[in-house]
Amino acid sequence: MKSSIFGFFSIMMIFTFECVSAQDYSTSTVSTKVDRRPNILLIVADDLGYSDLGAFGGEISTPTLDSLAQSGIQLSNFHVAPTCSPTRSMLLSGTDNHLAGLGSMHAVMKWGNPELLGKPGYEGYLNNRVLSMATIFRDSGYSTHMTGKWHLGMEEDQGPKARGFENSFALLEGGAGHLSSMGMSEYEPKATFREDGEVSKIPEDFYSTRFYSEKMIQYLKSRDISKPFFAYLAFTAPHWPLQAPRESIDRYVGRYKSGYREVLKQRLVKQKELGLISSDTNIDRYIRMLPDWEKLSPEEQRIAERKMEIYAAMIDDLDRNTAKIIEYLKATGEYDNTLVIFMSDNGAQAGGMPIFTRWSDKCCDNSYENMGNANSYLFPGKEWARVSTGISRGFKGQVSQGGILAPAIVNYPKAVTKGIRYDQFLSVMDILPTVLDFAGIKHQEKNYLGRDLLPSKGTSFASLISGDLRSVHSDNYVMGWELFGGKALRQGSWKLLSMPAPYGDNQWQLYNIEQDPGEHKDLASSQPERVEKMLSLWRSYVADNGVILDDVNEKIMIQPE
């Protein structure tokens, strides 16, 4: 882990103790001495697209997250894995998902390639070769709390409690109904929840976004306030099925009558104004990728509108419930000493795998009048996913930029520099070393049995928080991806990419992402020497991370076109 100047000074200061009294707002345990190391609040959205937030060009009302971006650091070049659980394994371990146990998704291996499941790095859960972020914080004197989506193991000894969370209320599967415990497929017809390791039920008035935020506040209220906290709030919104309370959906009725092309145009114009895309970006190129709204029938239009109204409502509610956490921290005097990190786990979702689309047809009433209710089951669709993705190619599940480029925000009220944008490459693996550096904690090298643990592959960007905006990664830094037949490797601004059918022809392509962020101009034929050098780096990545190249999974992951 690369240390920073900021990390050095934080280590010198964080062990200062001071007397405090209990505050009326909190019911926490009171101690006469308080460890003033910084709190960490890590918020993850599920399938949120790059352009959905207002700060990233969207029209959806997200004032809380926009404010965090405007008063903090907006990470505009932040990379994740193509899907949920691989990203979460990288987030909590700081290393590659092929090492941490999620070389592929558990359900996809189980249903599509059972021979792969259980091999080293493909255990289907966060394995014991890595130490979770929560365990490190807990063992370093923090209170640790988690609510929301886990997706890193179904068994009790694989859940949040076993991986360092003192309090947790977790959805174990990759998704579920937002208004009930409806499961994702005929194989998992009912969702599984655990609270503090024990199988639990959700309340009758359950709404995922509200419930997870309020449960987190409950945990923070009841914690020992003599300790700093690490809180992991893993929303399931706006992951399908598209569901939200009727009053939330009503806020967006009529907002999307102009159709796909016009909404994307407005977002890209705003992204130009914000400096998120180049001022010379040919917007028409991307608009033409979407169907002509006027050629859709009135019925097709109103169904498409309603899907986006629900999707927008889910994101709006995510922002409103993030506000509840922020307001609580301010009311208790904790906000100024809390590092807030917000991110999405992958690119926007288009359609669903066949196992999910079959379930959608069987389980639910998807009539127009019932869309968004607890017994409906809908996907955003590739057209709205294209709007959410912006200029990037592809969607969730793909190693093109549309699958792995995600919005992210860092905010620390005591920061020297505020309201800045960092537009250089970062990845989800960089978060663990950053928060440990920020808190003055060293990553443990061995577990309690004395066995070696895998170190983080990320690099701390804690120096950014103190105003040092120098590059975190050098031009020689290499990061690879592999999932569902897709393969990619980055070195500096260069990206080597191979996509399976129907998204590609399995041939290696070469792009300069800095000059061509939409991955339009393949330079492989004109730069064979660079391709060969990067292929050598790719082979090293495969060997170093135990990657098993798998073409079976690509068949199960194909989304309807």
Neighbours of 362 (CB within 10 A): 11
Name the band, by pLDDT with cuts 50, 70 and 90, for residue 416: low
If you average pLDDT over residues 493-504, what whole number do you get?
95
Q: Could you read off the pLDDT of 249-258 as tens digits, one per residue?
A: 999 999 999 9
Q: Angle at CA 538, nearest 5°, toward 518 and 476?
A: 75
479 three-state secondary structure: strand
d(CA 357, CA 558): 12
**Residue-level pLDDT at 197:** 96
**Residue-level pLDDT at 417:** 64
Side chain identity, residue 117: L
Q: Could you read off the pLDDT of 317-372 as tens digits, one per residue?
A: 999 999 999 999 999 999 999 999 999 999 999 988 888 999 998 999 999 999 99
Q: Could you read off the pLDDT of 121-169 as tens digits, one per residue?
A: 999 999 999 999 999 999 999 999 999 999 999 999 999 999 999 999 9
**Residue-level pLDDT at 551:** 60
Between 502 and 65, residue with greater pLDDT? 65
Phi and psi based region of residue 443 (left: phi greater than 0; alpha: psi -120 to 50; beta: remaining): beta
Q: What tokens were used for 221?
A: 């209220």
**Residue-level pLDDT at 386:** 98
**Residue-level pLDDT at 553:** 52
Q: Could you read off the pLDDT of 15-32 as tens digits, one per residue?
A: 333 323 223 333 444 445
What CATH topology corresponds to 5-22+29-557? Alkaline Phosphatase, subunit A (3.40.720)
If you average pLDDT over residues 545-556, what whole number do you get?
71
**Residue-level pLDDT at 32:** 52
Name the band, by pLDDT with cuts 50, 70 and 90, for residue 554: very low
Catalytic residue numbers read 84, 151
Say whether pLDDT at 97 is over 70.
yes
Of 108, 210, 198, give the one whose Cα is nearest residue 161. Answer: 198
Q: Could you read off the pLDDT of 270-294 as tens digits, one per residue?
A: 999 999 999 999 999 999 999 999 9
Are 174 and 84 within 8 A, CB to CB?
Answer: yes
Listed by start position, the domains of the chain span 5-22+29-557
407 three-state secondary structure: strand
Name the band, by pLDDT with cuts 50, 70 and 90, for residue 450: confident
Q: Is the peptide bond before 63 cis (omega within 30 degrees of 0)?
A: no
Residues whose CB falls within 8 Å of the CB of residue 338, separated by 6 or more in sequence, listed in order: 38, 39, 40, 41, 329, 412, 413
**Residue-level pLDDT at 25:** 35
Are 506 and 498 within 8 A, CB to CB?
Answer: yes
If you average pLDDT over residues 539-553, what whole number do you get?
86
**Residue-level pLDDT at 468:** 87
Name the band, by pLDDT with cuts 50, 70 and 90, for residue 550: low
- pTM (2 d.p.): 0.93
If you average pLDDT over residues 363-389, what whole number do you get?
97
